[in-house]
Structure 1
Protein backbone atom coordinates (compact mmCIF):
# COMPACT_ATOMS: atom_id res chain seq x y z
CA UNK A 1 0.00 0.00 0.00
CA UNK A 2 1.11 3.55 -0.76
CA UNK A 3 0.00 6.32 1.61
CA UNK A 4 0.19 9.98 0.65
CA UNK A 5 -0.28 12.62 3.33
CA UNK A 6 -0.58 16.39 2.83
CA UNK A 7 1.68 16.38 -0.25
CA UNK A 8 2.90 19.77 -1.48
CA UNK A 9 5.18 20.40 -4.45
CA UNK A 10 6.26 23.70 -5.99
CA UNK A 11 8.57 24.88 -8.74
CA UNK A 12 9.78 28.30 -7.68
CA UNK A 13 6.69 30.39 -6.97
CA UNK A 14 4.36 28.00 -8.78
CA UNK A 15 2.51 25.74 -6.34
CA UNK A 16 1.68 22.51 -8.24
CA UNK A 17 0.46 20.02 -5.61
CA UNK A 18 -1.59 21.48 -2.79
CA UNK A 19 -2.00 19.12 0.15
CA UNK A 20 -2.97 15.82 -1.47
CA UNK A 21 -4.07 12.96 0.82
CA UNK A 22 -4.87 9.52 -0.54
CA UNK A 23 -3.98 5.83 -0.37
CA UNK A 24 -3.41 3.20 -3.05
CA UNK A 25 -4.13 -0.36 -1.95
CA UNK A 26 -2.47 -3.65 -2.85
CA UNK A 27 -4.13 -5.71 -5.54
CA UNK A 28 -6.11 -2.78 -6.94
CA UNK A 29 -5.78 -0.70 -10.09
CA UNK A 30 -5.93 2.97 -9.10
CA UNK A 31 -6.27 5.70 -11.71
CA UNK A 32 -5.23 9.32 -11.35
CA UNK A 33 -7.21 11.54 -13.72
CA UNK A 34 -7.63 15.25 -14.40
CA UNK A 35 -7.24 17.89 -17.07
CA UNK A 36 -3.87 18.95 -18.46
CA UNK A 37 -2.11 21.06 -15.84
CA UNK A 38 -3.94 19.42 -12.94
CA UNK A 39 -0.71 18.03 -11.46
CA UNK A 40 -1.03 14.36 -12.53
CA UNK A 41 2.47 14.00 -13.97
CA UNK A 42 4.15 15.85 -11.09
CA UNK A 43 2.21 13.68 -8.64
CA UNK A 44 3.35 10.49 -10.38
CA UNK A 45 6.98 11.64 -10.40
CA UNK A 46 6.77 12.38 -6.68
CA UNK A 47 5.45 8.85 -6.10
CA UNK A 48 8.37 7.48 -8.12
CA UNK A 49 10.90 9.47 -6.11
CA UNK A 50 11.93 11.52 -9.16
CA UNK A 51 10.78 14.81 -7.61
CA UNK A 52 11.42 15.98 -4.08
CA UNK A 53 8.55 17.75 -2.29
CA UNK A 54 8.40 20.50 0.32
CA UNK A 55 5.74 19.17 2.67
CA UNK A 56 3.93 15.94 3.45
CA UNK A 57 4.99 12.32 3.19
CA UNK A 58 4.79 9.29 0.92
CA UNK A 59 5.13 5.85 2.47
CA UNK A 60 5.42 2.43 0.86
CA UNK A 61 4.01 -0.32 3.10
CA UNK A 62 4.86 1.79 6.12
CA UNK A 63 8.32 2.93 4.94
CA UNK A 64 8.43 6.73 4.68
CA UNK A 65 10.46 7.63 1.62
CA UNK A 66 12.19 10.70 3.06
CA UNK A 67 13.43 8.66 6.01
CA UNK A 68 15.16 6.05 3.84
CA UNK A 69 18.91 6.11 3.27
CA UNK A 70 20.44 5.68 -0.19
CA UNK A 71 20.69 1.87 0.06
CA UNK A 72 17.08 1.62 1.24
CA UNK A 73 15.94 3.88 -1.61
CA UNK A 74 17.79 1.71 -4.11
CA UNK A 75 16.09 -1.38 -2.66
CA UNK A 76 12.74 0.36 -2.98
CA UNK A 77 13.43 1.27 -6.62
CA UNK A 78 14.07 -2.41 -7.29
CA UNK A 79 10.51 -3.09 -6.08
CA UNK A 80 9.00 -0.58 -8.53
CA UNK A 81 7.94 -1.31 -12.11
CA UNK A 82 7.26 1.52 -14.56
CA UNK A 83 5.41 1.59 -17.88
CA UNK A 84 6.25 4.83 -19.67
CA UNK A 85 3.88 6.70 -21.98
CA UNK A 86 5.94 6.00 -25.09
CA UNK A 87 7.02 2.52 -23.91
CA UNK A 88 10.65 3.84 -23.75
CA UNK A 89 12.22 0.69 -25.18
CA UNK A 90 15.89 0.69 -26.14
CA UNK A 91 16.00 0.70 -29.94
CA UNK A 92 19.38 -1.04 -30.10
CA UNK A 93 18.27 -3.99 -27.94
CA UNK A 94 16.07 -6.94 -28.83
CA UNK A 95 12.78 -7.37 -27.01
CA UNK A 96 14.32 -10.02 -24.75
CA UNK A 97 17.29 -7.74 -23.95
CA UNK A 98 14.92 -4.88 -23.12
CA UNK A 99 13.00 -7.07 -20.69
CA UNK A 100 16.21 -8.41 -19.12
CA UNK A 101 17.62 -4.94 -18.48
CA UNK A 102 16.10 -4.42 -14.97
CA UNK A 103 17.36 -7.85 -13.89
CA UNK A 104 20.86 -6.85 -14.89
CA UNK A 105 20.52 -3.58 -12.98
CA UNK A 106 18.96 -4.78 -9.75
CA UNK A 107 19.76 -8.49 -9.32
CA UNK A 108 22.72 -10.83 -9.18
CA UNK A 109 20.96 -13.64 -11.02
CA UNK A 110 22.86 -15.89 -13.38
CA UNK A 111 22.34 -15.53 -17.13
CA UNK A 112 20.23 -18.70 -17.21
CA UNK A 113 18.06 -17.47 -14.31
CA UNK A 114 17.51 -14.14 -16.07
CA UNK A 115 16.64 -15.86 -19.34
CA UNK A 116 14.15 -18.10 -17.55
CA UNK A 117 12.46 -15.08 -15.96
CA UNK A 118 12.37 -13.20 -19.27
CA UNK A 119 10.78 -16.23 -20.96
CA UNK A 120 8.17 -16.37 -18.21
CA UNK A 121 7.08 -12.73 -18.39
CA UNK A 122 7.07 -12.60 -22.19
CA UNK A 123 4.83 -15.64 -22.21
CA UNK A 124 2.60 -13.95 -19.60
CA UNK A 125 2.03 -10.99 -21.92
CA UNK A 126 1.47 -13.29 -24.92
CA UNK A 127 4.77 -12.60 -26.67
CA UNK A 128 6.24 -16.10 -26.63
CA UNK A 129 7.98 -15.81 -29.99
CA UNK A 130 9.07 -12.17 -29.95
CA UNK A 131 12.41 -12.52 -28.12
CA UNK A 132 14.67 -11.68 -31.06
CA UNK A 133 12.56 -8.95 -32.62
CA UNK A 134 13.72 -5.34 -32.44
CA UNK A 135 11.29 -2.71 -31.05
CA UNK A 136 11.02 -1.18 -34.53
CA UNK A 137 9.56 -4.48 -35.76
CA UNK A 138 6.82 -4.45 -33.11
CA UNK A 139 3.41 -2.78 -33.34
CA UNK A 140 2.34 -0.16 -30.79
CA UNK A 141 0.36 -2.75 -28.85
CA UNK A 142 3.28 -5.18 -28.82
CA UNK A 143 5.61 -2.46 -27.58
CA UNK A 144 3.24 -1.72 -24.69
CA UNK A 145 3.19 -5.42 -23.79
CA UNK A 146 6.99 -5.50 -23.88
CA UNK A 147 7.01 -2.45 -21.59
CA UNK A 148 4.66 -4.24 -19.19
CA UNK A 149 6.83 -7.38 -19.28
CA UNK A 150 9.89 -5.29 -18.46
CA UNK A 151 8.01 -3.54 -15.65
CA UNK A 152 7.05 -6.81 -13.95
CA UNK A 153 10.22 -8.84 -14.61
CA UNK A 154 11.56 -7.98 -11.13
CA UNK A 155 8.27 -9.10 -9.56
CA UNK A 156 7.58 -5.58 -8.25
CA UNK A 157 5.40 -4.61 -5.31
CA UNK A 158 4.43 -1.35 -7.01
CA UNK A 159 3.54 -0.72 -10.66
CA UNK A 160 3.24 2.77 -12.16
CA UNK A 161 1.86 3.41 -15.65
CA UNK A 162 1.91 6.78 -17.40
CA UNK A 163 -0.82 6.95 -20.06
CA UNK A 164 -0.38 3.27 -21.04
CA UNK A 165 -3.03 3.53 -23.78
CA UNK A 166 -1.59 6.61 -25.44
CA UNK A 167 -1.51 6.18 -29.22
CA UNK A 168 -3.37 2.87 -29.23
CA UNK A 169 -6.59 2.04 -31.04
CA UNK A 170 -9.60 1.34 -28.77
CA UNK A 171 -9.46 -2.45 -29.18
CA UNK A 172 -5.76 -2.66 -28.31
CA UNK A 173 -6.28 -0.23 -25.42
CA UNK A 174 -8.81 -2.64 -23.89
CA UNK A 175 -6.30 -5.50 -24.21
CA UNK A 176 -3.66 -3.43 -22.37
CA UNK A 177 -6.16 -2.39 -19.66
CA UNK A 178 -7.18 -6.01 -19.07
CA UNK A 179 -3.56 -7.15 -18.98
CA UNK A 180 -2.62 -4.54 -16.36
CA UNK A 181 -5.61 -5.45 -14.21
CA UNK A 182 -4.95 -9.21 -14.50
CA UNK A 183 -1.29 -8.76 -13.49
CA UNK A 184 -2.31 -6.52 -10.59
CA UNK A 185 -4.71 -9.19 -9.32
CA UNK A 186 -2.38 -12.13 -9.90
CA UNK A 187 0.66 -10.67 -8.18
CA UNK A 188 -1.15 -8.49 -5.62
CA UNK A 189 0.62 -5.36 -6.88
CA UNK A 190 -0.15 -1.78 -5.86
CA UNK A 191 -0.86 -0.28 -9.29
CA UNK A 192 -1.18 3.45 -10.02
CA UNK A 193 -2.07 4.65 -13.53
CA UNK A 194 -2.05 8.19 -14.89
CA UNK A 195 -4.74 8.30 -17.56
CA UNK A 196 -7.01 10.53 -19.59
CA UNK A 197 -8.76 7.50 -21.14
CA UNK A 198 -12.32 7.41 -19.79
CA UNK A 199 -12.78 3.85 -21.07
CA UNK A 200 -9.96 2.81 -18.73
CA UNK A 201 -11.62 4.69 -15.88
CA UNK A 202 -14.91 2.88 -16.43
CA UNK A 203 -13.36 -0.56 -17.00
CA UNK A 204 -10.55 -0.92 -14.46
CA UNK A 205 -10.78 2.08 -12.11
CA UNK A 206 -11.15 0.27 -8.81
CA UNK A 207 -10.03 3.53 -7.25
CA UNK A 208 -10.06 6.90 -9.00
CA UNK A 209 -8.34 10.05 -7.77
CA UNK A 210 -9.42 13.21 -9.60
CA UNK A 211 -6.99 16.14 -9.46
CA UNK A 212 -8.00 19.72 -10.17
CA UNK A 213 -5.48 22.58 -10.01
CA UNK A 214 -3.22 20.55 -7.73
CA UNK A 215 -5.97 19.59 -5.29
CA UNK A 216 -7.65 16.23 -4.84
CA UNK A 217 -11.11 17.26 -5.98
CA UNK A 218 -12.74 13.82 -5.66
CA UNK A 219 -11.99 10.15 -5.15
CA UNK A 220 -14.08 7.05 -5.55
CA UNK A 221 -14.43 4.11 -7.95
CA UNK A 222 -15.76 3.38 -11.44
CA UNK A 223 -19.01 2.45 -9.73
CA UNK A 224 -19.43 5.56 -7.61
CA UNK A 225 -18.29 7.99 -10.30
CA UNK A 226 -21.67 7.53 -12.00
CA UNK A 227 -23.42 8.68 -8.83
CA UNK A 228 -21.40 11.75 -7.92
CA UNK A 229 -22.89 15.23 -8.09
CA UNK A 230 -19.45 16.84 -7.93
CA UNK A 231 -19.66 19.31 -10.82
CA UNK A 232 -15.90 19.38 -11.40
CA UNK A 233 -15.92 15.61 -11.96
CA UNK A 234 -19.09 15.45 -14.01
CA UNK A 235 -17.92 18.29 -16.29
CA UNK A 236 -14.71 16.36 -16.97
CA UNK A 237 -16.05 12.82 -17.18
CA UNK A 238 -19.28 13.53 -19.05
CA UNK A 239 -17.97 16.08 -21.52
CA UNK A 240 -19.00 13.71 -24.34
CA UNK A 241 -22.62 12.90 -25.16
CA UNK A 242 -21.81 9.18 -25.01
CA UNK A 243 -20.87 9.26 -21.33
CA UNK A 244 -23.83 11.50 -20.54
CA UNK A 245 -26.10 8.83 -22.01
CA UNK A 246 -24.28 6.06 -20.13
CA UNK A 247 -24.65 7.93 -16.84
CA UNK A 248 -28.34 8.59 -17.48
CA UNK A 249 -28.93 4.89 -18.21
CA UNK A 250 -26.99 3.86 -15.11
CA UNK A 251 -28.95 6.20 -12.84
CA UNK A 252 -32.27 5.05 -14.29
CA UNK A 253 -31.37 1.38 -13.79
CA UNK A 254 -30.27 1.95 -10.20
CA UNK A 255 -33.09 4.15 -8.92
Structure 2
Protein backbone atom coordinates (compact mmCIF):
# COMPACT_ATOMS: atom_id res chain seq x y z
CA UNK A 1 0.00 0.00 0.00
CA UNK A 2 1.04 3.60 -0.62
CA UNK A 3 -0.43 6.39 1.48
CA UNK A 4 -0.04 10.09 0.72
CA UNK A 5 -0.60 12.75 3.38
CA UNK A 6 -0.79 16.49 2.72
CA UNK A 7 1.58 16.25 -0.25
CA UNK A 8 2.89 19.55 -1.60
CA UNK A 9 5.45 20.18 -4.32
CA UNK A 10 6.65 23.60 -5.40
CA UNK A 11 9.24 24.79 -7.89
CA UNK A 12 10.28 28.25 -6.77
CA UNK A 13 7.08 30.27 -6.46
CA UNK A 14 5.04 27.80 -8.51
CA UNK A 15 2.92 25.44 -6.39
CA UNK A 16 2.23 22.32 -8.44
CA UNK A 17 0.82 19.95 -5.80
CA UNK A 18 -1.31 21.53 -3.10
CA UNK A 19 -2.00 19.17 -0.23
CA UNK A 20 -2.97 15.78 -1.67
CA UNK A 21 -4.32 13.09 0.68
CA UNK A 22 -5.07 9.62 -0.66
CA UNK A 23 -4.00 6.00 -0.57
CA UNK A 24 -3.43 3.32 -3.17
CA UNK A 25 -4.52 -0.20 -2.41
CA UNK A 26 -2.42 -3.32 -2.89
CA UNK A 27 -3.74 -5.68 -5.56
CA UNK A 28 -5.83 -2.94 -7.21
CA UNK A 29 -5.38 -0.90 -10.37
CA UNK A 30 -5.20 2.71 -9.15
CA UNK A 31 -5.60 5.34 -11.89
CA UNK A 32 -4.58 9.00 -11.81
CA UNK A 33 -6.40 11.23 -14.29
CA UNK A 34 -6.61 14.95 -14.99
CA UNK A 35 -6.04 17.64 -17.59
CA UNK A 36 -2.54 18.34 -18.88
CA UNK A 37 -0.85 20.56 -16.30
CA UNK A 38 -2.94 19.19 -13.42
CA UNK A 39 0.14 17.81 -11.63
CA UNK A 40 -0.11 14.11 -12.57
CA UNK A 41 3.48 13.74 -13.76
CA UNK A 42 4.93 15.64 -10.80
CA UNK A 43 2.79 13.53 -8.49
CA UNK A 44 4.09 10.31 -10.05
CA UNK A 45 7.69 11.51 -9.83
CA UNK A 46 7.21 12.27 -6.14
CA UNK A 47 5.94 8.73 -5.58
CA UNK A 48 8.94 7.36 -7.47
CA UNK A 49 11.34 9.39 -5.36
CA UNK A 50 12.54 11.44 -8.33
CA UNK A 51 11.21 14.64 -6.69
CA UNK A 52 11.45 15.38 -2.98
CA UNK A 53 8.12 16.72 -1.68
CA UNK A 54 8.15 20.30 -0.41
CA UNK A 55 5.81 19.27 2.38
CA UNK A 56 3.89 16.17 3.44
CA UNK A 57 4.62 12.46 3.57
CA UNK A 58 4.52 9.40 1.36
CA UNK A 59 4.21 6.06 3.16
CA UNK A 60 5.24 2.75 1.65
CA UNK A 61 3.69 -0.05 3.72
CA UNK A 62 3.32 2.33 6.70
CA UNK A 63 6.92 3.61 6.55
CA UNK A 64 7.44 7.22 5.58
CA UNK A 65 9.85 7.83 2.69
CA UNK A 66 11.05 11.04 4.31
CA UNK A 67 12.74 9.04 7.08
CA UNK A 68 14.39 6.48 4.81
CA UNK A 69 18.18 6.38 4.76
CA UNK A 70 20.02 6.41 1.43
CA UNK A 71 20.38 2.63 1.70
CA UNK A 72 16.66 2.17 2.44
CA UNK A 73 15.72 4.35 -0.51
CA UNK A 74 17.95 2.25 -2.74
CA UNK A 75 16.30 -0.91 -1.47
CA UNK A 76 12.86 0.59 -2.07
CA UNK A 77 13.84 1.43 -5.64
CA UNK A 78 14.56 -2.26 -6.23
CA UNK A 79 10.95 -2.99 -5.28
CA UNK A 80 9.57 -0.61 -7.92
CA UNK A 81 8.74 -1.41 -11.53
CA UNK A 82 8.13 1.27 -14.15
CA UNK A 83 6.34 1.18 -17.50
CA UNK A 84 7.26 4.34 -19.39
CA UNK A 85 5.02 6.21 -21.80
CA UNK A 86 7.09 5.43 -24.89
CA UNK A 87 8.24 2.03 -23.67
CA UNK A 88 11.81 3.36 -23.20
CA UNK A 89 13.38 0.18 -24.52
CA UNK A 90 17.06 0.18 -25.46
CA UNK A 91 17.13 0.04 -29.27
CA UNK A 92 20.57 -1.60 -29.35
CA UNK A 93 19.49 -4.42 -27.02
CA UNK A 94 17.40 -7.45 -27.86
CA UNK A 95 14.10 -8.11 -26.08
CA UNK A 96 15.92 -10.54 -23.78
CA UNK A 97 18.69 -8.07 -22.98
CA UNK A 98 16.15 -5.30 -22.25
CA UNK A 99 14.34 -7.52 -19.76
CA UNK A 100 17.57 -8.68 -18.13
CA UNK A 101 18.73 -5.11 -17.56
CA UNK A 102 17.07 -4.64 -14.11
CA UNK A 103 18.32 -8.06 -13.02
CA UNK A 104 21.89 -7.10 -13.90
CA UNK A 105 21.47 -3.73 -12.20
CA UNK A 106 19.77 -4.77 -8.96
CA UNK A 107 20.54 -8.46 -8.34
CA UNK A 108 23.45 -10.87 -8.15
CA UNK A 109 21.67 -13.69 -9.94
CA UNK A 110 23.60 -16.14 -12.06
CA UNK A 111 23.20 -16.18 -15.84
CA UNK A 112 21.03 -19.29 -15.57
CA UNK A 113 18.78 -17.67 -12.92
CA UNK A 114 18.38 -14.53 -15.02
CA UNK A 115 17.60 -16.56 -18.11
CA UNK A 116 14.94 -18.57 -16.29
CA UNK A 117 13.30 -15.41 -15.00
CA UNK A 118 13.34 -13.80 -18.45
CA UNK A 119 11.62 -16.87 -19.89
CA UNK A 120 9.00 -16.72 -17.12
CA UNK A 121 8.03 -13.10 -17.76
CA UNK A 122 8.13 -13.48 -21.54
CA UNK A 123 5.69 -16.35 -21.19
CA UNK A 124 3.50 -14.26 -18.88
CA UNK A 125 3.18 -11.42 -21.39
CA UNK A 126 2.67 -13.86 -24.28
CA UNK A 127 5.95 -13.15 -26.06
CA UNK A 128 7.47 -16.62 -26.24
CA UNK A 129 10.20 -16.78 -28.87
CA UNK A 130 10.75 -13.02 -29.11
CA UNK A 131 14.02 -13.15 -27.10
CA UNK A 132 16.44 -12.27 -29.89
CA UNK A 133 14.34 -9.68 -31.67
CA UNK A 134 15.18 -5.97 -31.42
CA UNK A 135 12.55 -3.35 -30.52
CA UNK A 136 12.45 -2.06 -34.11
CA UNK A 137 11.48 -5.55 -35.30
CA UNK A 138 8.30 -5.84 -33.20
CA UNK A 139 5.00 -3.94 -33.09
CA UNK A 140 4.12 -1.13 -30.70
CA UNK A 141 1.88 -3.43 -28.69
CA UNK A 142 4.65 -6.01 -28.38
CA UNK A 143 7.07 -3.28 -27.28
CA UNK A 144 4.66 -2.33 -24.48
CA UNK A 145 4.50 -5.96 -23.39
CA UNK A 146 8.30 -6.09 -23.30
CA UNK A 147 8.22 -2.94 -21.18
CA UNK A 148 5.77 -4.61 -18.78
CA UNK A 149 7.93 -7.75 -18.67
CA UNK A 150 10.96 -5.64 -17.79
CA UNK A 151 8.98 -3.79 -15.11
CA UNK A 152 7.93 -7.01 -13.36
CA UNK A 153 11.09 -9.08 -13.83
CA UNK A 154 12.33 -8.14 -10.33
CA UNK A 155 8.97 -9.11 -8.78
CA UNK A 156 8.19 -5.54 -7.61
CA UNK A 157 5.85 -4.62 -4.78
CA UNK A 158 5.00 -1.34 -6.52
CA UNK A 159 4.29 -0.83 -10.23
CA UNK A 160 4.07 2.60 -11.88
CA UNK A 161 2.75 3.09 -15.41
CA UNK A 162 2.91 6.40 -17.27
CA UNK A 163 0.40 6.48 -20.15
CA UNK A 164 0.95 2.77 -20.95
CA UNK A 165 -1.57 2.92 -23.84
CA UNK A 166 -0.02 5.90 -25.57
CA UNK A 167 0.15 5.35 -29.33
CA UNK A 168 -1.79 2.08 -29.33
CA UNK A 169 -5.00 1.24 -31.18
CA UNK A 170 -8.08 0.64 -28.96
CA UNK A 171 -7.98 -3.16 -29.18
CA UNK A 172 -4.27 -3.37 -28.30
CA UNK A 173 -4.77 -0.79 -25.53
CA UNK A 174 -7.44 -3.03 -23.98
CA UNK A 175 -5.04 -6.00 -24.11
CA UNK A 176 -2.40 -3.95 -22.28
CA UNK A 177 -4.94 -2.74 -19.69
CA UNK A 178 -6.11 -6.27 -18.97
CA UNK A 179 -2.54 -7.57 -18.77
CA UNK A 180 -1.57 -4.92 -16.22
CA UNK A 181 -4.67 -5.65 -14.15
CA UNK A 182 -4.11 -9.41 -14.25
CA UNK A 183 -0.47 -9.07 -13.19
CA UNK A 184 -1.48 -6.66 -10.42
CA UNK A 185 -3.94 -9.16 -8.96
CA UNK A 186 -1.81 -12.26 -9.46
CA UNK A 187 1.16 -10.73 -7.64
CA UNK A 188 -0.74 -8.42 -5.27
CA UNK A 189 1.19 -5.38 -6.49
CA UNK A 190 0.31 -1.79 -5.65
CA UNK A 191 -0.16 -0.44 -9.18
CA UNK A 192 -0.53 3.26 -10.07
CA UNK A 193 -1.31 4.33 -13.63
CA UNK A 194 -1.21 7.85 -15.04
CA UNK A 195 -3.58 7.96 -18.00
CA UNK A 196 -5.65 10.12 -20.34
CA UNK A 197 -7.37 7.03 -21.77
CA UNK A 198 -11.01 6.95 -20.71
CA UNK A 199 -11.31 3.37 -21.97
CA UNK A 200 -8.79 2.47 -19.26
CA UNK A 201 -10.82 4.35 -16.68
CA UNK A 202 -14.00 2.43 -17.48
CA UNK A 203 -12.21 -0.88 -18.06
CA UNK A 204 -9.83 -1.24 -15.08
CA UNK A 205 -10.40 1.79 -12.79
CA UNK A 206 -10.75 0.04 -9.44
CA UNK A 207 -9.70 3.31 -7.81
CA UNK A 208 -9.50 6.62 -9.65
CA UNK A 209 -8.24 9.97 -8.45
CA UNK A 210 -8.84 13.14 -10.43
CA UNK A 211 -6.32 15.95 -10.06
CA UNK A 212 -7.23 19.52 -10.91
CA UNK A 213 -4.66 22.31 -10.60
CA UNK A 214 -2.62 20.25 -8.13
CA UNK A 215 -5.58 19.42 -5.88
CA UNK A 216 -7.30 16.06 -5.48
CA UNK A 217 -10.72 17.09 -6.72
CA UNK A 218 -12.41 13.67 -6.74
CA UNK A 219 -11.76 10.01 -6.04
CA UNK A 220 -13.83 6.87 -6.49
CA UNK A 221 -14.29 3.77 -8.67
CA UNK A 222 -15.15 3.26 -12.34
CA UNK A 223 -18.77 2.69 -11.29
CA UNK A 224 -18.93 5.78 -9.10
CA UNK A 225 -17.47 8.03 -11.78
CA UNK A 226 -20.62 7.46 -13.85
CA UNK A 227 -22.75 8.82 -11.02
CA UNK A 228 -20.68 11.76 -9.80
CA UNK A 229 -22.09 15.28 -9.94
CA UNK A 230 -18.58 16.78 -9.91
CA UNK A 231 -18.76 18.94 -13.05
CA UNK A 232 -14.98 19.10 -13.54
CA UNK A 233 -14.80 15.31 -13.56
CA UNK A 234 -17.77 14.80 -15.88
CA UNK A 235 -16.52 17.48 -18.27
CA UNK A 236 -13.14 15.74 -18.41
CA UNK A 237 -14.40 12.17 -18.65
CA UNK A 238 -17.16 12.88 -21.17
CA UNK A 239 -15.20 15.31 -23.30
CA UNK A 240 -15.53 13.07 -26.38
CA UNK A 241 -18.80 12.55 -28.27
CA UNK A 242 -18.59 8.79 -27.70
CA UNK A 243 -18.46 9.00 -23.92
CA UNK A 244 -21.15 11.71 -23.86
CA UNK A 245 -23.42 9.29 -25.71
CA UNK A 246 -22.59 6.56 -23.16
CA UNK A 247 -23.49 8.94 -20.33
CA UNK A 248 -26.81 9.92 -21.93
CA UNK A 249 -27.67 6.27 -22.58
CA UNK A 250 -26.99 5.40 -18.94
CA UNK A 251 -29.13 8.26 -17.71
CA UNK A 252 -32.00 7.02 -19.91
CA UNK A 253 -31.54 3.48 -18.62
CA UNK A 254 -30.54 1.94 -21.96
* Bin for the TM-score computed over the shorter chain: over 0.9
Q: Does 1:198 align with 2:198?
A: yes
Tell me, in whole angstroms, the C-alpha distance in 1 between the residues paired with 2:182 and 2:31: 15
Corresponding position of 1:142:
142
Corresponding position of 2:3:
3
Tell me, in whole angstroms, the C-alpha distance in 1 between the residues paired with 2:122 and 2:88: 17
Question: Within 5 Å, which residues of 2 pair with 1:60-139?
Answer: 60-139=60-139
Task: Give structure 1 regions of 4+ aligned residues with deviation exceeding 6 angstroms.
Answer: none
Tell me, in whole angstroms, the C-alpha distance in 1 between the residues paired with 2:251 and 2:208: 19
Question: Within 5 Å, which residues of 2 pair with 1:180-195?
Answer: 180-195=180-195
Deviation readout 1:185-219 (Å, 9 max, x if unpaired)? 10000000000000000000000000000000100
Corresponding position of 2:223:
223
Q: Does 1:177 align with 2:177?
A: yes
Deviation readout 1:140-176 (Å, 9 max, x if unpaired)? 0010000000000000000000000000111110110
Give the drift of 1:7: 0.3
Q: Is the 8 A contact 1:30 1:207 kept in 2?
A: yes
Give the drift of 1:129: 0.6
SS at match of 1:27: coil
Give the drift of 1:251: 3.4
Question: Within 5 Å, which residues of 2 pair with 1:4-83?
Answer: 4-83=4-83
Corresponding position of 1:213:
213
Tell me, in whole angstroms, the C-alpha distance in 2 between the residues paired with 1:59 and 1:22: 11
Unmatched runs of 5 consecutive residues or more in structure 1: none
SS at match of 2:99: helix
Would you say how many aligned residue pairs link Structure 1 and Structure 2? 254
SS at match of 2:18: strand
Give the drift of 1:110: 0.7
Tell me, in whole angstroms, the C-alpha distance in 2 between the residues paired with 1:249 and 1:208: 22
Q: Is the 8 A contact 1:9 1:17 kept in 2?
A: yes
Unmatched runs of 5 consecutive residues or more in structure 2: none
Tell me, in whole angstroms, the C-alpha distance in 2 between the residues paired with 1:46 and 1:79: 16
Tell me, in whole angstroms, the C-alpha distance in 2 between the residues paired with 1:149 and 1:186: 14
Deviation readout 1:126-147 (Å, 9 max, x if unpaired)? 0001000011111100100000
Tell me, in whole angstroms, the C-alpha distance in 1 between the residues paired with 2:200 and 2:11: 30
What is the TM-score normalised by the length of structure 1? 0.98
Corresponding position of 1:246:
246
